[in-house]
């Protein structure tokens, strides 16, 4: 590295304050410029590679998730085939119930939890208000969940879509 | 480090912020993990201020204190009245906008890990002076020093680097979620001149979703007699499904909308299942799209330009992903259409570039060139083996190690080619040279480092060096990146067109090389092992080798070669164990031998010229 010190001359506090490049020989300056350009090009190429790697990493993660869900998917197909053969509704419902539990297990293993909504106080950080309706419940209480929301490791995957109470009808009219 | 200047697309429905990093614009993800932020501000009853996604989510519970689309009021006397903690407060559009800007600023600060003070903000081309001033004031209130206000279409053109091209006229077609704008710009020497601008402030992708929802409701009513439009839970599901199917139809010709258990009546649960083809969807929104084309026509007239005067069309806004939109615009305006950059982010990206220019970052960086086409050398079987892939930023240097294809080969020929085709002969030859004086050695043993070094001026220096003797030889090629665009385009297209046949040819060559290598290794192993191999086994294997070589000589099909190779491998399993050991130890890629062929290394793709030294058995 000793040969490279010239490029950094201006970083040296003991160096004269005059423009360091002025003291460089043209050949030294040229070699500094070349090194700078190569470093910059390397950074550009590194960024390109990272972009490529990130997208292939994303692909592989998606593959993994899909693999997890293939088992319940296949079980669902088994359920239909079995129902086709014996038309036993009770058995079919029991089977589908198990498959549902399997889905729930996968979600749980992946740290996915449902966002508590029904009866909770509306919070825009985790709930998405789709409707407001008069109800006996206190204002801003969630009275209906239109679609549940989920979060994972504290991050909201999907906010739950909810109907929020506007309080008893009369109160609203006064407001 | 220079102070960063962020670029902000302050939109009617959504906003986006980007910054120049290492010369390219990067969109900044907000605290909620999204790349765009809804331009919505809300004041909760407790006096809390919400901006973005959260404000949008609570809008329906708090309509009087939630403000959306404030951009429409910029520069007017409009005042927003909200009630906070029981007290009425009044805000100007600038103040509300500043709250959106403040969130974008703090998201940018979180991303960059430092204070952000300076910004470039975009506005529609039709904004008048007072609207621009109001936007600037909004920035000031947010604690930003607004370095410049630029037009959204100008930002889009900047993102595509059109300021660097020759003088030209461009049309920017911006179809977002809720607004539509057309602008015609003239660009010359980095100066942008807006010739005309027009639009429809209430037209966008949300209207398209509504058409799908209406259709689904109608179809379901026809099928079941049930009206879903009164069922809020069903409507919510219809909305989500409509948007998802619209997006899917941008890449597929048909999609199926499944909404099981959408509702129920006395007879039991009802499921909605509808196929929607791209053509059907296009029919649904045809009148909207025609309206946009009429606006394009009006804008052209206002600019006193014909469609043929437009050199380039730039597409902005998420709805321009719809193939029909692209088709209509390119049939109306025949110039080149640009849509490579994410249309939701292109304006912010352009603003970030403007920020970079103002910060002096762009000048300072001196944009580096990239290699327009792959640079390779010819190896065994006349295959082009890449050293530097296309689109690599220069200056750069890559080294790969090659070897010989024949025993006692005295020289290798390095043939440098440029292009994307798999076979050397199909690419452009840039030059050839020889490295001579290799000491006699079995094939696969010599190690020849070939180095491609491209300097900042695009001059390519190729050096071949024999590791054993340190002998080297080199060539300098002046014009490795000096191809004109048409030639680069032609060569890339050529490669795309021939991709399949090239793939087959390379596969054949690989199979041949493998066969040849195996025959050679087994033969060598037989010789080395001598009498350790019994006579009948030996003659069986020799027979196999002879048959495999016959196939190679008679240019047999790939299947036959593979089959014979496998047969030989099977027949010589014990011998092969020994032979493979040798062949793997010397699997360096044979470079072009003089008068002979070169052959590619097996494992050269994974690394960047690093050669893993193998140990050699001194036989």
The answer to whether residue B574 scores a pLDDT higher than 80 is no
| Residue A174, pLDDT above cutoff 80 | no
Which of B58, B66, B240 should be substituted to probe chain A, the one whose Cβ sees the most A Cβ atoms within 10 Å?
A: B58
Identify the band that residue B322 occupies on the pLDDT scale cut at 50, 70 and 90: very high
More confident position, B498 or B617: B498
Could you tell me which of B420, B331, B318 has the C-alpha nearest to residue B374?
B420
pLDDT at residue B394, as a whole number: 85
Closest CA to B587 of B603, B571, B610: B603
Beta strands in B555-603 (DSSP E): 589-590
Classify strands B40-43 and B66-68 as parallel, antiparallel or unpaired. Answer: antiparallel
Cα dihedral sign for B41, B42, B48, B52? negative
What is the pLDDT, as a whole number, of residue B580? Answer: 54
- Is residue B582 pLDDT above 60, yes or no? no
Nearest CA in chain A to B396: A38
Which of A38, A138, A153 is most worth mutating to test chain B (most B CB atoms within 10 A of its CB)? A38
User: According to the model, what pLDDT value does residue B596 have?
Assistant: 39
DSSP state of A139: T
**Whether B406 is catalytic:** no
CA distances B42 to A123, A173, B65, B80, Å, are 13, 22, 6, 11
pLDDT tier at B49 (50, 70, 90 boundaries)? very high
CA distance A20 to A34: 17
Q: How confident is the model at residue B362 (pLDDT cuts 50, 70, 90)?
A: low
Least confident window among A125-139, B247-261, B508-522: B508-522
Residue in A with minimal Cα distance to B392: A45
**Chain B within 8 Å of A163 (Cβ-Cβ)?**
yes
| Residues 6 or more apart in contact with residue B258 via CB below 8 angstroms | B271, B272, B273
CA atoms of B29 and B15, how far apart (whole Å): 12
Cβ of A96 under 8 Å from any chain B Cβ? no
Neighbours of B484 (CB within 10 A): 9
Cβ separation B57–A42 shorter than 8 A: no
What is the number of alpha carbons within 13 Å of residue B451 lying toward its C-beta? 15
Query: What percentage of chain B reaches a pLDDT higher than 90?
Result: 53
pLDDT at position B190: 76
Nearest to A48 among B55, B61, B391 (CB): B391
- In this predicted model, what pLDDT tens digit does every residue of B198-256 receive, in sequence order? 999 889 999 999 999 999 999 999 999 999 998 888 998 999 999 999 999 999 999 99
pLDDT at B603: 41
pLDDT for residue B588: 58
B210 Cβ contact list (under 8 Å, min separation 6): B242
The pLDDT tens digits of the residues spanning A97-123 come to 999 999 999 999 999 999 999 999 999
Distance CA(B59)–CA(B40), nearest Å, equals 9
**pLDDT attached to residue B590:** 59
In whole angstroms, give the CA distance from residue B491 to residue A80: 53
- For chain A, give the mean pLDDT: 85
| pLDDT exceeds cutoff 60 at A9 | no
Average pLDDT over residues B453-477: 88
Q: How far is it, in rounded angstroms, from Cα A164 to Cα A144?
A: 7
Which pLDDT score, from 0 to 100, does residue B576 have?
57
**pLDDT band at A16; cut points 50, 70, 90:** very low
Compare B31 and B587 and report the one with higher pLDDT: B31
Task: Please tell me the predicted confidence (pLDDT) of residue A44.
Answer: 84
Determine the distance in angstroms separating the CA of B295 from the nearest CA of chain A, rounded to an integer. 34
pLDDT (tens digit per residue) in B248-266: 999 999 999 999 999 999 9
Q: Is the pTM of this model over 0.80?
A: no
pLDDT for residue B22 is more than 80: no
* Percent of residues, chain A, with pLDDT higher than 90: 59
- Phi, psi of B535, rounded to the nearest 5 degrees: -60, -40
Nearest to B39 by CA among B179, B169, B182: B179
Whether residue A128 has pLDDT greater than 80 = yes
> What is the total residue count of chain A?
175
Higher pLDDT, B369 or B299: B299
Give the model confidence (pLDDT) of B64-123 as tens digits.
999 999 999 999 999 999 988 888 999 999 999 999 999 999 999 999 999 999 999 999
Higher-pLDDT residue of B501, B471: B471
Mean pLDDT, chain B, whole residue set: 87
Higher pLDDT, B55 or A36: B55
The band of B619, judged by pLDDT with boundaries at 50, 70 and 90, is very low
The confidence band for B274, taking pLDDT boundaries of 50, 70 and 90, is very high
Residue in A44, A125, A164 closest to B54 by CB: A125
Whether B457 is a known active-site residue: answer no
pLDDT for B477 equals 85
Print the SS3 string covering B331-364: HHCCCEEECCCCCCCHHHHHHHHHHHHHCCHHHH
Q: Please determine, for residue A18, whether its predicted confidence score (pLDDT) is greater than 90.
A: no
With contact defined as beta carbons under 8 Å apart, do B131 and B94 qualify? Answer: no
Beta bridge partners of A165: A133
Q: If residue B17 lies in a helix (H) or strand (E), which one and from where to where? A: strand B14-21
CB atoms within 10 A of CB A136: 10
Which of B50, B57, B394 shows the shortest C-beta gap to A41? B394
Tell me the DSSP string of B533-562: S-HHHHHHHHHHHHHHHHHHHTT--HHHHH
Would you say residue B558 has pLDDT above 50?
yes
Q: Is B71 a catalytic residue?
A: yes
- Catalytic residue of the set B73, B107, B137, B152: B152
**Closest Cα in chain A to B57:** A128
The length of chain B in residues reads 619
Per DSSP, B423 falls in state B
Sign of the C-alpha dihedral computed for residues B282, B284, B286 and B289 taken in this order: negative
Which of B467, B483, B330 has its CA nearest to residue B401?
A: B467
Per-residue pLDDT of B276-307, as tens digits, reads 999 999 999 999 999 999 999 999 999 999 99
Backbone angles phi, psi at B529, to 5 degrees: -75, -25
Cross-chain residue pair B58–A159, CB shorter than 8 Å: no
- Model confidence over B382-438: pLDDT tens digits? 889 999 988 888 889 999 999 988 888 888 999 999 888 888 888 888 889 999 888
B174 is catalytic: yes
Residue A148 pLDDT exceeds 70: yes
pLDDT at B154: 94
Using CA atoms in the order B302, B306, B312, B318, what is the torsion angle rounded to 10 degrees?
50
Closest CA to A172 of A146, A145, A144, A133: A133
| B124-175 per-position pLDDT tens digit | 999 999 999 999 999 999 999 999 999 999 999 999 988 877 889 999 999 9
For chain B positions 446-465, those within 8 Å of chain A (CB to CB) are 455-456
Q: Which of B71, B305, B422, B524 is catalytic?
A: B71
């Amino acid at each position: 590295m000793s040969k490279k010190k010239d490029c950094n001359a201006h970083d040296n506090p003991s160096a004269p304050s005059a423009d360091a490049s002025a003291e460089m020989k043209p050949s030294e300056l040229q070699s500094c410029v070349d090194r700078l350009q190569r470093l910059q090009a390397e950074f550009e190429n590194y960024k390109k590679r990272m972009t490529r790697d990130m997208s292939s990493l994303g692909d592989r993660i998606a593959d993994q998730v899909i693999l997890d869900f293939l088992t319940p998917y296949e079980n669902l197909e088994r359920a239909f085939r079995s129902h086709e053969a014996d038309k036993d509704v009770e058995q079919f419902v029991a089977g589908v119930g198990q498959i549902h539990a399997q889905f729930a297990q996968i979600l749980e293993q992946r740290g996915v939890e449902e966002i508590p909504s029904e009866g909770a106080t509306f919070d825009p950080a985790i709930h998405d208000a789709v409707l407001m309706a008069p109800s006996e419940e206190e204002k801003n209480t969630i009275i209906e969940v239109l679609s549940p929301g989920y979060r994972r490791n504290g991050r909201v995957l999907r906010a739950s879509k909810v109907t929020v109470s506007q309080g008893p009808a009369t109160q609203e009219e006064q407001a | 480090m220079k102070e960063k200047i962020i670029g902000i697309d302050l939109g009617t429905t959504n906003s986006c912020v980007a910054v120049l990093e290492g010369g390219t614009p990067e969109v900044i993800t907000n605290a909620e993990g999204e790349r765009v932020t809804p331009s919505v501000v809300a004041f909760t009853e407790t006096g809390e201020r919400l901006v973005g996604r959260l404000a949008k989510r609570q809008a329906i519970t708090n309509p009087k204190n939630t403000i959306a689309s404030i951009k429409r009021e910029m520069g007017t006397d409009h005042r927003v009245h909200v009630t906070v903690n029981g007290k009425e407060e009044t805000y100007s559009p600038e103040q509300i906008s500043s709250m959106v800007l403040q969130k974008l600023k703090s998201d940018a600060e979180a991303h960059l890990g430092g204070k952000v003070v300076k910004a470039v903000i975009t506005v529609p081309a039709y904004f008048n002076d007072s609207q621009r001033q109001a936007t600037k004031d909004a920035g000031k209130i947010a604690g930003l020093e607004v370095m410049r206000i630029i037009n959204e279409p100008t930002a889009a053109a900047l993102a595509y680097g059109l300021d660097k091209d020759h003088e030209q006229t461009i049309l920017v077609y911006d179809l977002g979620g809720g607004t539509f704008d057309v602008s015609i710009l003239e660009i010359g020497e980095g100066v942008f001149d807006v010739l005309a601008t027009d639009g429809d402030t209430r037209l966008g992708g949300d209207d398209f979703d509504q058409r799908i929802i209406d259709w689904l409701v109608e179809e379901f009513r026809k099928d079941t007699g049930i009206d879903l439009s009164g069922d809020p839970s069903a409507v919510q599901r219809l909305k989500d499904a409509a948007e998802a199917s619209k997006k899917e139809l941008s890449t597929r010709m048909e999609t199926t909308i499944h909404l099981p258990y959408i509702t129920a009546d006395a007879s039991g649960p009802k499921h909605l299942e509808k196929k929607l083809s791209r053509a059907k969807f296009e029919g649904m929104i045809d009148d909207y799209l025609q309206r946009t084309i009429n606006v394009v026509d009006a804008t052209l007239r206002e600019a006193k330009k014909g469609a043929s005067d437009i050199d380039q069309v730039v597409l902005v806004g998420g709805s321009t992903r719809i193939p029909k939109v692209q088709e209509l615009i390119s049939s109306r305006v025949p110039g080149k259409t640009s849509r490579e950059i994410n249309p939701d982010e292109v304006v912010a990206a352009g603003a970030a570039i403007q920020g970079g220019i103002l910060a002096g970052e762009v000048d300072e960086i001196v944009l580096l060139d990239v290699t327009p086409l792959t640079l390779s050398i010819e190896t065994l079987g006349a295959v082009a083996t890449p050293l530097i892939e296309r689109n690599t930023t220069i200056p750069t240097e890559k080294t790969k190690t090659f070897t010989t294809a024949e025993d006692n080969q005295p020289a290798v020929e390095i043939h440098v080619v440029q292009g994307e085709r798999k076979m050397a002969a199909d690419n452009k030859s840039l030059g050839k040279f020889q490295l001579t004086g290799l000491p006699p050695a079995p094939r696969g043993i010599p190690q020849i480092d070939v180095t491609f070094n491209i300097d900042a001026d695009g001059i390519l220096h190729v050096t071949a060096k024999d590791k054993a003797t340190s002998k080297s030889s080199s060539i300098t090629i002046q014009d490795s990146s000096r191809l004109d665009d048409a030639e680069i385009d032609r060569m890339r297209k050529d490669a795309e067109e021939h991709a399949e046949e090239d793939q087959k040819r390379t596969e054949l060559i690989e199979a041949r090389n493998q066969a040849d290598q195996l025959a050679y290794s087994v033969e060598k192993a037989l010789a080395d092992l001598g009498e350790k191999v019994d006579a009948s086994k030996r003659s069986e294997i020799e027979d196999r080798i002879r048959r495999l070589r016959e196939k190679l000589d008679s240019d047999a099909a790939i299947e036959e070669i593979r089959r014979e190779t496998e047969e030989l491998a099977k027949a010589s399993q014990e011998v092969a164990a020994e032979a493979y050991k040798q062949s793997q130890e010397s699997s360096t890629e044979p470079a072009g031998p003089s008068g002979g062929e070169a052959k590619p290394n097996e494992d050269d793709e994974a690394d960047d010229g690093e050669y893993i030294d193998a140990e050699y058995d001194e036989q």
